[in-house]
A and B are shown apart, each in its own frame.
Chain A
Amino acid sequence: EAGVAQSPRYKIIEKRQSVAFWCNPISGHATLYWYQQILGQGPKLLIQFQNNGVVDDSQLPKDRFSAERLKGVDSTLKIQPAKLEDSAVYLCASSLMKGAGGTDTQYFGPGTRLTVL
């Protein structure tokens, strides 16, 4: 079974530029997550989709970050404009979960390592 796919794997941009990341979850997984992991910290949930609806985006900096999951499958996370503090690994994860709560496993993609200069 194919895992969670992400691209690009690495991206270097200058501050104030825009960048977009793509994620394709495991087939059949209803829930998709985007996390930001800064070096030395645990992943921080930015946004969670269930199918194509947002169920939690409380920690997404909405003035510069946006995300969409059209058709309830793959997803794109965008940063516009980027700041130095956005340098991090952006992880996408998916899970089967089809309802509230849930103890199902999150499967992570390899991440996109973003460097903002």
Chain B
Amino acid sequence: RKEVEQDPGPFNVPEGATVAFNCTYSNSASQSFFWYRQDCRKEPKLLMSVYSSGNEDGRFTAQLNRASQYISLLIRDSKLSDSATYLCVVKGFPGGFKTIFGAGTRLFVKA
């Protein structure tokens, strides 16, 4: 089993749709969780951190479920500019430092 797993997609949605991605992780000792966004042939950029209480940034909502060991990202009112790959990131395996990226979920938003 991979340490961090994501549905690779692609997700094809129309503008204005709501779309959700899940990410599961295997190590219950994980400490920090993030979503990064990566545009085609570009470097990853932080989208948002994920907290146990859940957090929201505009149209984006992230949730963490420690009991089931998954995190989620919800995008409301999708825009064409949301088309990208969304990378789940888990940090802090025993030792406190290790960073694990998921393989990413591709999203295409169409007019």
Contact = CB atoms under 8 A, between A and B. Distances in A.
B38 to A, nearest CB: 9
Interface size grouping (class) on chain A = 20 to 34
Contacts of A103: 32, 49, 91
Contacts of B91: 101-103
B98 A45 contact: yes
Contact residues of A: prevailing secondary structure:
loop
A42 interface: yes
B6 to A, nearest CB: 8
Nearest to A48: B97
A106 B99 contact: yes
Contacts of B97: 48, 50, 55-56, 100-101
Interface string A37-81: 000111111001010000110100000000000000000000000
Interface stretch (B11-19, B58-66, B100-108): B100-108
A43 B101 contact: yes
Interface size grouping (class) on chain B = 20 to 34
B96 A111 contact: no
A109 interface: yes
A88 interface: no
Interface of A: 33, 35, 40-45, 48, 50, 55-56, 58, 91, 100-103, 105-106, 108-111
22 contacts: A41-B103, A41-B104, A42-B87, A43-B44, A43-B87, A43-B101, A44-B101, A45-B98, A45-B99, A45-B100, A56-B98, A58-B98, A91-B43, A100-B95, A100-B97, A101-B32, A101-B92, A102-B91, A102-B92, A106-B46, A109-B43, A110-B43
